[in-house]
A and B are shown apart, each in its own frame.
Chain A
Amino acid sequence: MKKIAVTSEGPSLDDQVDPRFGRAAGFVVVDLDTMETQYFDNGQSQVMAQGAGIQAAELIARAGVNCLLTGYVGPKAFQALSAAGIKIGQNLEGLTVREALERFKSGRVEMAQAANRGAGR
C-alpha cells in the first residue's frame, strides 16, 4: 500500500498544489491502490509562530503517509519527514493535485535529497 500526501490549496484533486509545506492550507492524502482521497486541514500549523513544518510533518506521519508531493520544504521539516521515513518530491508548484499525482505515477518526480528552502520561509 502506498499513501501519498499532496500539499493543496483545497480538498479536491483539482485544487492547486500549495507550494508551501509547513504552512500549506491542507493535504490531500491519496491511497494509490484504491485512489481514495482524504483531506487534512493544516490551519493549526498555519497560525504557528514557528515550527509549522515540524507540526505538518507530524500530521502527515500520523496519517500513515509514505510520500509527500509539494513545492518547497524547509530544513527542519525535511529532517522530521526523513526521520519518519517519508519520501519527498519537491518543486511541484503550479500543478493541480491530480497533475502532481500523475507526474509521480509516471515516474517523473525525483525524490529529494535535501531541503529546497531556508528555515522559516
Chain B
Amino acid sequence: MIVSVASGKGGTGKTTVTASLATVWDESVLAVDLDVEEPNLHLFLRPRIEGSEAAQLKVPVVDESRCTYCGACSDLCQFKAISVMGRLILTFPEMCHGCGGCIAVCPEKALSPGQRELGEISWGEAGRAGFLMGRLRIGEAMSPPLMRLVKVKLDEMIAARGGDAIIDAPPGVSCPAVNAVIDSDVIVLVTEPTPFGFYDFQLAWEAFSPLGKPMATVVNRAGLGNDDIYRFCRDKGLPILAEIPFDRAIAEAYARGRIIAEVSSELRETFVSMLGRIREVAKQCCPKGVAHA
C-alpha cells in the first residue's frame, strides 16, 4: 500500500501527519519526502542517510557535423528547448522536459543524450522506517522530472524491502502535487478548518477526484474556524480519519522538531487509529468523483 499525504493549502500539517504515521506504522514502511522543492520530513524523522546520488535529466546534445538543419527536432519540441534557424541549431537545456523526442526523431542521429542536474536523491533509515527524499537543485525550475526519479527509487526500495510507503506530497494542486499522489493507493488530505484551508481543500478534492483513488481527510488544528469542512466531507462522502486539536503543546513540539505522535499517549492513539482507518479506506474503490476531469 502506498499512501500519499497531500493538501491544497501549504502548512496544514502534511509533514506532521506523515512523520507521525511513519512512527506508529505497524509493518515495514518507507517514508518518502516528495516535496522536493522544500523537503522537511528529514527534520522530524532525523534519518541516518546511507546513500545519495545526483539526479540527471537527459537533454539533447548536438553533433553539428551530422546535423542537416532539417528542423524535425525543433518542430517536435513544444517547449522550444531546441531551435533550428537556417543553418543554425540552438539548444536551451533549461527549457527541456527530457522526453527524448528530439533524439528519437532526428533522421541523421545528430542528437545524443546529455545531462542537466535536477537535484539529489538520498535514502537511509529512520528508526524502523526506511527513508527516501529528493532535493531540487537551487535554480532548477521543474520539480516533476526529479519526482519521477525519486519514485523510480521508491519502487526499487519497496521491491527490495517489501512493506508500505507513505509519501509526503508538496502542497498545491498543480503538476508537482498530482505527480506525488498519482501512483498511490490512497490519498489523505490534511486540512485545517479555516476559510483558506477549506477553500484550498476543495481545490485539492476537485484536482484529485478524477484520479479515482480512495480519499480521506485529516482535520488538523481542529477547534479553529467553522464547520464548512465537516459539511463538505459529509456531502462528498469523504471520511474524516482523525482530528488533531489546535493545541499549544503540539505547536511547541513541532517547533522543536519533535514527532507529534510521541507527545502524548492520546496523540499516539490518534495516529494508530488513523492508520487503521487508512487501511480500511484503501480497500474501497470508486469514491464519488467530480464530473469533469
One of A49, A76, A84 near B85 (C-beta < 8 A):
A84
Report B229-288 residues with CB < 8 Å from chain A CB. none
List of A residues within 8 angstroms of B104 by Cβ: none
Least CB distance from B174 to A in Å reads 13
B90 within 8 A of A: yes
Stretch at the interface among B9-17, B73-81, B163-171, B198-206: B73-81
A32 within 8 A of B: no
B51 within 8 A of A: no
Are the C-beta atoms of B86 and A48 separated by less than 8 Å? no
B182 within 8 A of A: no
Given contacts A76-B92, A76-B95, A80-B90, contact A51 B85 (CB under 8 A): no
Are the C-beta atoms of A84 and B88 separated by less than 8 Å? yes
A115 within 8 A of B: no
Are the C-beta atoms of B92 and A57 separated by less than 8 Å? no
B83 within 8 A of A: yes
A62 to B83, CA, bound (A): 12
Least CB distance from B67 to A in Å reads 14
Number of A-B contacts (CB under 8 A): 44
A55 to B92, CA, bound (A): 12
Query: Which secondary structure dominates chain B's binding surface?
Result: loop
Are the C-beta atoms of B85 and A57 separated by less than 8 Å? yes
Least CB distance from B78 to A in Å reads 8
List of A residues within 8 angstroms of B80 by Cβ: 48, 50-52, 54-55
Are the C-beta atoms of B85 and A58 separated by less than 8 Å? yes
A9 to B95, CA, bound (A): 27
A50 to B81, CA, bound (A): 9
Least CB distance from B64 to A in Å reads 13
Are the C-beta atoms of B83 and A80 separated by less than 8 Å? yes
One of A49, A50, A58, A84 near B74 (C-beta < 8 A):
A58
A109 within 8 A of B: no
Report A63-87 residues with CB < 8 Å from chain B CB. 76, 79-80, 83-84
List of A residues within 8 angstroms of B90 by Cβ: 54, 79-80, 83
Supply 14 A–B pairs (Cβ within 8 Å), ascending by A. A50-B79, A51-B78, A51-B79, A51-B81, A52-B80, A54-B83, A54-B90, A54-B92, A55-B83, A58-B74, A58-B85, A62-B85, A79-B90, A84-B88
Q: Using a CB–CB distance below 8 Å, which chain B residues touch chain A?
A: 74, 78-81, 83-86, 88, 90, 92, 95
Other 17 A-B pairs with CB < 8 A, given A57-B85, A62-B85: A49-B79, A50-B95, A51-B78, A51-B79, A51-B80, A51-B81, A51-B92, A52-B80, A54-B80, A54-B90, A55-B80, A57-B83, A58-B84, A79-B90, A80-B83, A80-B85, A84-B86
